[in-house]
Amino acid sequence: MHINPYLFILPRTPAPIVWNYKDHIQYELELDYSLRLSQLINNPDLFDSRNNIDIQLLNAGILSISKQDSIEWGWDELSKIYHIGTQNIPCEHIPHNIDEWSRQYLDHCSEVLAKPAPCAGRAIIDATSRIALPTATAPSHDKLTDALTRRKTCRSFTGRALSLDDVSTLLYLSFGYLQERDNAQDGIAEGLDARRSSPSGGGLNACECFLLAQHIDGLEPGVYAYHPAEHVLTRVNAWPQAPLGQLLGGQHFINNLPLGLFITARFDRLWWKYEHSRAYRMAFVEAGHLSQSFQLIATALGLNTWLTGAFTDDQVEALLSIEGTAEQPLFFVGCGESDGQAMCQEIQDLLRGPQT
Ligand SMILES: Cc1cc2nc3c(=O)[nH]c(=O)nc-3n(C[C@H](O)[C@H](O)[C@H](O)COP(=O)(O)O)c2cc1C
């Protein structure tokens, strides 16, 4: 008999909680159950099929007959619990098409707006303490200002193919190791000296990306790994059979997105240098920097962008062929030609109501 490796125990009074964080199930254990579980943790061979408590612990998945493989996870238990505990969150219903998604989305917005909103912004208690700032003046015809002010999340794409040249520029400037930053004289330790357009925690470049190529001229549709040092792609998988939106929380309005990137983190690389759970936070901060850089570059190329963290981790890991490894998907960004609408046509139609 084996103890499920994905449990933690909260020592609450009067009864401890056993939390199966992988399957998102919690049990409150009465004293005789927690005493028996302690005995079985100490020696799983004490399992007795005539003991009613043992059978209940087995049926609850707290014990298992076969040894469950725990994923390869560097060393840090706290971040492992958080990461796996927030993976594959059960979704009551993933919409199967754009109409279902639109109705579900608007219902959700109505539910949220029916609750009192937390106060927006930071309150200014003492009006006399305000320090007025000069009017912001952006340099005219400045490309960065232009990209910053034009970047916008769009949910209506035309599906037009991207050129391989644009894809190369996007990848190099967002995730590539910049030849322009090859600076031996900077005094940076060898092995930590690769530089991107975004900052990276400890210079580790722990985040990586996979390209989801749907409509790119000269590139077969499929999933590709991007290699930032060599600036090359290698094919990992065919294009998924289900529409892209099905993979991304049922958000079917991006089914025709020509290009997407999954941003992943190599947790083992972070912990190699930073042996503390806090390193886990840095993976998300780094992914955010990379996501914004990607969006600004895409905007500067005249494209529109979209992003999401809504996906079922297991499905994405399988698509990227990284299941059970210390590399985990964190975020998705994509871009393409768009009519510039923040909302898809179906939502706009629903908001407009039936036309008479
Ligand atoms: C962490 C994060 C997650 C997001 N997830 C989604 C998403 O799942 N679907 C979506 O359509 N937009 C998503 N967005 C986009 C936001 O809705 C959008 O940024 C916000 O409405 C502000 O609009 P703007 O990006 O045009 O300025 C996400 C943005 C962030 C930063």
| pLDDT the model gives residue 184 | 62
- Measured from the CB, is residue 22 less than 6 Å from ligand 1? no
**Mean pLDDT value of segment 119-133:** 85
pLDDT tier at 83, thresholds 50, 70, 90 = very high
- Measured from the CB, is residue 152 less than 6 Å from ligand 1? yes
What is the C-alpha separation between 275 and 37, in angstroms, rounded? Answer: 31
What is the C-alpha separation between 261 and 279, in angstroms, rounded? Answer: 23
| pLDDT the model gives residue 330 | 98
How many other C-beta atoms can be found within 10 angstroms of the C-beta atom of residue 119?
7
Query: Where do the structural domains in the chain lie, given as residue ranges?
Result: 2-70, 143-182+192-346
**CA of residue 152 to ligand 1 center, whole Å:** 9
* Secondary structure of residue 151 in the 3-state scheme: coil
**CA of residue 63 to ligand 1 center, whole Å:** 41
pLDDT top residue among 41 and 125: 41
**Mean pLDDT value of segment 3-22:** 95
**CA of residue 306 to ligand 1 center, whole Å:** 7
**Which two tokens mark 147?**
């990209």
- Measured from the CB, is residue 310 less than 6 Å from ligand 1? yes
Letter for the amino acid at 249?
A: G
Q: Which helix (H) or strand (E) holds 287?
A: helix 279-300
Judge whether 63 and 44 are in contact, CB under 8 Å.
yes
Sole residue written with tokens 């087995």: 58
Sign of CA dihedral 160, 166, 167, 171: negative
Does the pLDDT value for residue 356 go beyond 70? no
Q: Which has the closest alpha carbon to 263: 293, 230, 220? A: 293
Share of the chain above pLDDT 90, in %: 80
Question: Atom 17, ligand 1: which residue's CA is nearest?
Answer: 153
Terminal C-alpha separation, the chain? 67
Residue 238 CA: distances (Å) to CA of 7, 213, 224, 294: 35, 10, 9, 24
Greatest C-alpha distance within the chain:
80
- Measured from the CB, is residue 308 less than 6 Å from ligand 1? yes
pLDDT tier at 232, thresholds 50, 70, 90 = very high
* Secondary structure of residue 180 in the 3-state scheme: helix
pLDDT tier at 68, thresholds 50, 70, 90 = confident
| pLDDT the model gives residue 74 | 76
Mean pLDDT for the chain? 93
86, 101, 102, 153: residue to mutate for ligand 1 pocket, most atoms within 8 A of CB: 153
Question: Atom 9, ligand 1: which residue's CA is nearest?
Answer: 308
- Measured from the CB, is residue 251 less than 6 Å from ligand 1? yes
* Secondary structure of residue 128 in the 3-state scheme: helix
286, 308, 316: residue to mutate for ligand 1 pocket, most atoms within 8 A of CB: 308
Does the pLDDT value for residue 96 go beyond 70? yes
- Measured from the CB, is residue 307 less than 6 Å from ligand 1? yes
Judge whether 225 and 236 are in contact, CB under 8 Å.
yes
- Measured from the CB, is residue 341 less than 6 Å from ligand 1? no
What is the C-alpha separation between 179 and 194, in angstroms, rounded? Answer: 9
Please name the fold of domain 143-182+192-346: NADH Oxidase (3.40.109)
307, 311, 335: residue to mutate for ligand 1 pocket, most atoms within 8 A of CB: 307
Question: Atom 2, ligand 1: which residue's CA is nearest?
Answer: 308
**CA of residue 289 to ligand 1 center, whole Å:** 15
Does the pLDDT value for residue 57 go beyond 90? yes
| pLDDT the model gives residue 185 | 67
Q: What is the position in ligand 1's atom list of the atom closest to the CA of 291?
A: 31
pLDDT in tens, 135-190: 988 777 789 999 999 999 999 999 999 999 999 999 999 999 999 998 766 788 88
**Mean pLDDT value of segment 284-291:** 98
Judge whether 79 and 18 are in contact, CB under 8 Å.
no
Mean pLDDT lowest for which of 103-117, 148-162, 221-235, 341-355?
341-355
Angle, CA of 239, 299 and 203, to the nearest 5°:
80
| pLDDT the model gives residue 153 | 98
Neighbouring C-alpha atoms within 13 Å toward the C-beta of 274:
17
**Which two tokens mark 251?**
């958000």
How many other C-beta atoms can be found within 10 angstroms of the C-beta atom of residue 222?
17
What is the C-alpha separation between 158 and 215, in angstroms, rounded? Answer: 11
